[in-house]
Structure 1
Amino acid sequence: MKYRNLGKTDISVSSIGIGAWQLGGPLVLDGVHDGHPDPGKANVIKLIRDLGELGVNFIDTAEQYSHGESERRVGAAIKADRDKWVVSTKFGHKVGEGNRRHIDTSPQSIMPALEDSLKRLQTDYVDVYNYHTIPDIAHLEESAKILQKAKDKGMIRALGISTTDTAIVRELIKRDMLDVVQYVSSILSPAKEMQGLIETNNLGGVSRGVMAGGCLSGRYFHTKLECKTGDRRSWGDEDYSRFNVFEQLIPEGMTMAQLACRFVLDQKASHTIILGAKNLKDYKSAIDAVHLESLDEKLKAELRTAAHDLGFD
């Protein structure tokens, strides 16, 4: 495994991290299910611990995921080796009454949310505490004081946000409220402006969406993805088979999923990639990609051209 610091922080993270959304079990939110079957608590705990043995040390979750069950399982898995793990969780976007979406980033919501997450995670601190949605700018000054106080108490090591919105990232930078950005980056969406902000301001960069909802996994180039109506994993009526144009660009000895990972790993603003895999085999494949050579510029250009021809910028 290879490790990099999250920007200006002293937090060292593995190049491949664990995305724990799908590990908490199914979630229905606003009448829409997320499509993930329950892998089972025991299997999740074993998977996380096995990945720890392989050198993975970064895991990302949220209070919303499976209505808190994701955090509970993460906590159970790492409690014996808490100091070996970098834990990232999110607040401001949770499951409310009747399984309805409840968004609250108000200053008064911060400490109760943090304390609840710490209880579920069975720890007294989180390494990265992220806004899970765009906060109200009018309340940022008050929120900054609360978050800084939590930092000073050792409850939070770094502040972050999960977003694709560069405008809010700029606002948080202005107020010195940002250490880490979790953002979407893939062959289809290289996120150049966000990368520029991360590099210029020496922020930590956590990349998600590397497989573009499965479009770049290679798994559905010739097999239809079966999703129920409203499945959050689905890109609607997307024809996944059209992404098989990337097949001809896969270097010898590499899979499509590894190519997708390597493309993002080569970005300076990507310090770790969080995957949504549910089994050890897929994670091992991604870990192998960490040790593959960087892609040459010709291949990167061909990948960008193919993405452009598919309608992505």
Structure 2
Amino acid sequence: MKYKKLGKTGISISSIGIGAWQLGGPLVLDGVHDGHPDPGRDNVIKMIHELGEHGVNFIDTAEQYSHGESERRIGEAIKSQRDRWVISTKFGHKVGEGNRRHIDTSPQSIMPALEDSLRRLQTDYIDVYHYHTIPDLEHLDESAEILNEAKKKGMIRALGISTSNTAIVKELIKRDMLDVVQYVSSLLAPAYEMQELINSNSLGAICRGVMAGGCLSGRYFHSKLEVKTGDRRSWGDEDYSRFQVFEKLIPEDMTMAQLACRFVLDQKACQTIILGAKNLKDYEIAIESVFKEALSKELKLKLSEVSKELGFLG
């Protein structure tokens, strides 16, 4: 495995990380599927251990995922190896009464949410603590005091936000309450403005959405993806077969999934990619991309041209 420093935090993380949304089991939120079929608690713990043996040390979750079950499984998996893992979790989105989404980023919500996550994760500190949604801007200065105090106490090592909104990132930078950004980036939509903001402020960068909802995995180039109505886990009615135009650009020693990973790994504003895989094999394929050569400028240009032809920003 290869490792990079997460911005200015001093935290060293593996180039491939575990995305744990899919590891907690099913959840219906606001009447919409917001979880995944349950891979089984024991299988999840086993896979986390196996990925640890591959050198993966970064894992990302959230209090909302499967109503806390994702955090609980991670806590159980790494409790005897806490010092070798970097844990990222998020607050602000909760499962409320009647399985309705409850959004609360008010100052008074922060410490209870943090303490609940610490308990579920069976740890006394979180490496990266993210806003999971747009913060309460009216009381942001008060929130900054609370989060930085938790940081001083060692409950949090780094502060972050999961967003593609550059304006919000700028607001957090102004208040010295941002160390890391988790954002969506793929060869379809590299998020160049966010990349520039991250690089110019020496922030840590965690990339998600690399497979663009499965469009770039290659798995559905020639087979139909079956999704339930209202399932937020995919790109809905997207015709996945149209992305098979990328096949002609895949280097001989790569799969489509590895090409998608390598494109993002080549970005300066990327220290790790978090994947939503549910099995070891898919992670192993992604890990192989870490050791592939960087893509040539010519190939990146061709990939961007295809992305534009498909209606995306290349």
Range class of TM-score, shorter chain: over 0.9
Q: Deviations over 1:119-158 (max 9, x none)?
A: 0000000000000000121111000100011001100000
Q: Which runs of 4+ in 1 moved over 4 A?
A: none
The match for 1:210 is 210
**5+ residue gaps in structure 1?**
none
CA distance in 2, matches of 1:35, 1:221: 24
SS in 1 for 2:181: strand
CA distance in 2, matches of 1:96, 1:4: 37
Q: Deviations over 1:222-270 (max 9, x none)?
A: 0000001111122121100000000000000100000000000000000
Indicate conservation of the 8 Å contact 1:185/1:209, yes or no.
yes
The correspondence of residues 168-183 of structure 1 with structure 2, limited to 5 A, is: 168-183=168-183
SS in 2 for 1:90: strand
Deviates more, 1:225-234 or 1:179-188: 225-234
Indicate conservation of the 8 Å contact 2:220/2:240, yes or no.
yes
CA distance in 2, matches of 1:263, 1:94: 33
Indicate conservation of the 8 Å contact 1:35/1:231, yes or no.
no
The match for 1:186 is 186
Normalised by the length of structure 2, the TM-score is: 0.99
The correspondence of residues 31-42 of structure 1 with structure 2, limited to 5 A, is: 31-34=31-34, 36-42=36-42
CA distance in 2, matches of 1:170, 1:85: 29
The match for 1:164 is 164
**Is the counterpart of residue 281 in structure 1 residue 260 in structure 2?**
no
The match for 1:266 is 266
CA distance in 2, matches of 1:55, 1:27: 30
Indicate conservation of the 8 Å contact 2:217/2:260, yes or no.
yes
Q: Deviations over 1:21-64 (max 9, x none)?
A: 00000111000113621000000000001000100000000000
**5+ residue gaps in structure 2?**
none
The match for 1:294 is 294
Identical-residue share of aligned pairs (%):
79
Indicate conservation of the 8 Å contact 1:35/1:227, yes or no.
no
CA distance in 2, matches of 1:101, 1:266: 36
Normalised by the length of structure 1, the TM-score is: 0.99
CA distance in 2, matches of 1:73, 1:35: 15
The match for 1:113 is 113
CA distance in 2, matches of 1:188, 1:209: 10
The match for 2:136 is 136
CA distance in 2, matches of 1:78, 1:156: 18
SS in 2 for 1:148: helix
The match for 1:224 is 224
CA distance in 2, matches of 1:200, 1:17: 24
CA distance in 1, matches of 2:234, 2:205: 25
CA distance in 1, matches of 2:59, 2:290: 17
The match for 2:148 is 148
Match of 2:309, as an amino acid? D
Match of 2:158, as an amino acid? A
The match for 1:77 is 77
Q: Deviations over 1:87-144 (max 9, x none)?
A: 0000001110000000000000000000000000000000000000001211110001
Q: Deviations over 1:62-100 (max 9, x none)?
A: 000000000000000000000000000000011100000
The match for 1:103 is 103
Indicate conservation of the 8 Å contact 2:24/2:35, yes or no.
no
CA distance in 2, matches of 1:185, 1:214: 13
CA distance in 2, matches of 1:99, 1:36: 16
Match of 1:2, as an amino acid? K
